[in-house]
A and B are shown apart, each in its own frame.
Chain A
Amino acid sequence: MSSTIPLAVEFTGGLELLFSNQRKHQISVPSSDSKGAPSNVGYLVKWLCENLIKDPRKEMFVLDHSVRPGILVLINDADWELEGEDKYELQANDEIVFVSTLHGG
């Protein structure tokens, strides 16, 4: 249970405001979830909500236990829909980017 996965996560398109106004974060998440299953993107999103988000407006990031519609998720620069969405199992040094399309200019 002690092993972790190093990841690079990035928040853009206005989302960075929820995360200390910092775009890029180097993090390490547990390699398995509470049930012992390998950590996936769904778990990462939950972890970010519990550990990294600073703004109380969590609903700007997550709605109904999933990334809010209108926020794009890129796994190693590809749409997460192409990678299995929240079921994608995290690999060491993956780059996960969350881009909001919800904010104006």
Chain B
Amino acid sequence: MPPHLCQLCHTSRAQILRPKNHARLCAPCFISTFEIEIASTITTSHLFHPGERIAIGASGGKDSTVLASVLQTLNERHGWGLDLVLLSIDEGITGYRDHSLEAVKRNSAELGLPLSIVSYEELYGWSMDQVVAQVGRGGKGNCTYCGVFRRQALDRGAAGLGVRHVVTGHNADDVAETVVMNLLRGDLPRLGRGTSVVTSMPSAVGMGTGKEWEGKGRVGEVACTSVKRSKPLMWAYEKEIVLYAHHKKLDYFSTECIYSPEAFRGSARTLIKNLERIRPESIMDVVRSGIDMAKLVPNAEGGPGSGKPEAVQRDAGEDAEGGCGGSNGEDAGGEMAQMERKLQQDEQAEEDGTETEIKIPTKAVNGQRHDRDTQTSATAAALTSNVNGQDHDRHTHPPSNTTTTVPIRTKQEKKSNRKATRDTPPPKQRLGQCERCGYLSSQAVCKACMLLEGLNKARPRTGIEVGGAGG
């Protein structure tokens, strides 16, 4: 058959069939159209301000490689004056991240952008290889640790660079996957975060000048976190990102984490890709549906009464970005959601003044309302083992009908509304700072520090004294 001609220039052979509108474009017209659309996302959402210092979360994969290339191109073309840096997280997974970090280093040299790498090892004293050696490989715990650690790592890495805005390479397919996963989990409150182009961490009281972040020495000791996250590629199809990389001959690395089967995300991904083959517009339609549904969810991020729809807040303690897969961890894996619920129950127990309650062990088989046992090492065991436990519903779990508890001390008793807090989700924005690491947290000790406590207690040789964050 005669070759199709590009619908824009009408001279060259068409090479790309655009999924969103079936337009047929030649490679040069496609590249310029793609860049114009990303620029449009950035300007219409007011993502950046002139001269802003931006960290690009760089994994070495296709999405972040394209993001870095496009941002660099647009920054020069439009004179935005952005101060771009690459920020990579080294989870410490031999055979996985070490290879992709090489790709990031090549990109750094190619684009002339400075690169900063922060490792779990330096932030937490534990690489993921060590965590897996400790907690075992087959279990569901690995991804939980990685997700909780990752959530803070980008913020801490950014803070260490004096950067208050991190951009990530999440694309439309990733967002659609996350929407589907949230729906399948019945987790509508999280729709808003997954579908917002900007998510922001609220500033802690008395913070906000950015000065506190600097001069603290080690990245693990940064006192405050108020880092904005955005996804400039969220309206770009994965197909187009890959084709952009292909036609611009960008150097990226493709791999899968060796520890993470991610079956649930994989199924959502397969569903999305099957839909795309039949009807490519489906991906964008799922994203739009996610955004519209988020608006209908009361008291949720992005929902009615939640403030600005454009900058959905990532609530510090509850924000369960994690899992990983291909999406740099902006959303929760299944075990992350369970972990989150567990921690919320701990928090609720604390609020109810029952953190020192005594539990009849035989009644606790289904893991309902684990108490904290005032930070004994049993806490750590519960944190990991309970991941496999029941899927609690934090909004409706009944008050202690399966666990007999005897409050013997009510240190932080809230006299007025003990009953009320049982039946309602905990208030989201009681933000303080983790008493150990200073990370923004709605609990006295943030999730990463709680996980670290468990790890450190179980580490025979080095004891507690590891890492900057764990204390």
Contact: B61 with A104, CB < 8 Å? Answer: yes
Q: Which residues of A contact B14 (CB under 8 A)?
A: 78, 82
Among the stretches B47-55, B138-146, B272-280, the one at the interface with A is B272-280
Contact: B252 with A82, CB < 8 Å? Answer: no
- What mask results when residues 74 to 89 of chain A are scored 1 for a CB within 8 Å of chain B, else 0? 1001110110100000
- What mask results when residues 357 to 382 of chain B are scored 1 for a CB within 8 Å of chain A, else 0? 00000000000000000000000000
Q: Nearest 10 A-B pairs (CB), nearest first?
A: A105-B61, A104-B326, A105-B59, A14-B254, A70-B273, A69-B273, A103-B254, A78-B15, A69-B277, A81-B17
Residues of chain A in range 50-105 having any CB-CB distance to chain B below 8 Å: 68-70, 72, 74, 77-79, 81-82, 84, 97, 99-105
Among the stretches B122-130, B215-223, B236-244, B397-405, the one at the interface with A is B236-244
- How far does the alpha carbon of A74 sit from the alpha carbon of B100 in the complex, in Å? 25
Contact: B239 with A82, CB < 8 Å? Answer: no
Q: Which residues of B contact A14 (CB under 8 A)?
A: 254-256
The answer to whether B454 has its CB under 8 Å from any CB of chain A is no
- How far does the alpha carbon of A104 sit from the alpha carbon of B91 in the complex, in Å? 15
The answer to whether A42 has its CB under 8 Å from any CB of chain B is no
Contact: A84 with B1, CB < 8 Å? Answer: yes
- How far does the alpha carbon of A64 sit from the alpha carbon of B449 in the complex, in Å? 47
Closest-by-CB residue of B relative to A68 is: B273
Q: Which residues of A contact B257 (CB under 8 A)?
A: 104
Query: Which residues in A have some Cβ–Cβ distance to B below 8 Å?
Result: 12-14, 68-70, 72, 74, 77-79, 81-82, 84, 97, 99-105
Closest-by-CB residue of B relative to A84 is: B1
Q: Which residues of B contact A77 (CB under 8 A)?
A: 15, 27, 247
CB distance from A93 to the nearest CB of B (A): 17
CB distance from B282 to the nearest CB of A (A): 12
Q: Which residues of B contact A81 (CB under 8 A)?
A: 17
Contact: B269 with A102, CB < 8 Å? Answer: yes
CB distance from B175 to the nearest CB of A (A): 15
Q: Which residues of B contact A12 (CB under 8 A)?
A: 246, 254
Closest-by-CB residue of A relative to B265 is: A104
Contact: B4 with A82, CB < 8 Å? Answer: yes
The answer to whether B355 has its CB under 8 Å from any CB of chain A is no
CB distance from A92 to the nearest CB of B (A): 18
- How far does the alpha carbon of A79 sit from the alpha carbon of B25 in the complex, in Å? 10
Q: Which residues of A contact B64 (CB under 8 A)?
A: 105
CB distance from A72 to the nearest CB of B (A): 6
Contact: A82 with B24, CB < 8 Å? Answer: yes
- How far does the alpha carbon of A78 sit from the alpha carbon of B3 in the complex, in Å? 10
Sampled A-B contacts (23; CB under 8 Å): A13-B254, A14-B254, A14-B256, A68-B273, A69-B270, A69-B276, A69-B277, A70-B269, A70-B276, A78-B15, A78-B16, A79-B17, A82-B4, A82-B14, A101-B62, A102-B273, A102-B326, A103-B61, A104-B61, A104-B256, A104-B324, A105-B59, A105-B63
The answer to whether B202 has its CB under 8 Å from any CB of chain A is no
Known: A13-B62, A104-B326. Contact between A72 and B242, CB under 8 A?
Answer: yes
Contact: A79 with B16, CB < 8 Å? Answer: yes
Residue from A69, A72, A77 having most chain B Cβ neighbours under 10 A: A69
Residues of chain B in range 269-307 having any CB-CB distance to chain A below 8 Å: 269-270, 273-274, 276-277
The answer to whether B259 has its CB under 8 Å from any CB of chain A is no
Contact: B17 with A69, CB < 8 Å? Answer: no
CB distance from B145 to the nearest CB of A (A): 18
Residues of chain B in range 1-50 having any CB-CB distance to chain A below 8 Å: 1, 3-4, 13-17, 24, 27
The answer to whether B426 has its CB under 8 Å from any CB of chain A is no
Q: Which residues of B contact A100 (CB under 8 A)?
A: 254
CB distance from A56 to the nearest CB of B (A): 16
Contact: A101 with B60, CB < 8 Å? Answer: no
The answer to whether B325 has its CB under 8 Å from any CB of chain A is yes
- How far does the alpha carbon of A69 sit from the alpha carbon of B266 in the complex, in Å? 13
CB distance from A69 to the nearest CB of B (A): 4
The answer to whether B80 has its CB under 8 Å from any CB of chain A is no
Q: Which residues of A contact B4 (CB under 8 A)?
A: 82
Q: Which residues of A contact B255 (CB under 8 A)?
A: 14, 103-105
CB distance from B26 to the nearest CB of A (A): 9
CB distance from B101 to the nearest CB of A (A): 10
Contact: A72 with B239, CB < 8 Å? Answer: yes
Q: Which residues of A contact B241 (CB under 8 A)?
A: 101
The answer to whether B116 has its CB under 8 Å from any CB of chain A is no
The answer to whether B348 has its CB under 8 Å from any CB of chain A is no
The answer to whether B344 has its CB under 8 Å from any CB of chain A is no
- How far does the alpha carbon of A100 sit from the alpha carbon of B257 in the complex, in Å? 16
Q: Which residues of A contact B443 (CB under 8 A)?
A: none
Which residue from A68, A82, A97, A105 sits with its C-beta under 8 Å from B62? A105
Closest-by-CB residue of A relative to B16 is: A79
Known: A100-B254, A102-B269. Contact between A78 and B13, CB under 8 A?
Answer: yes
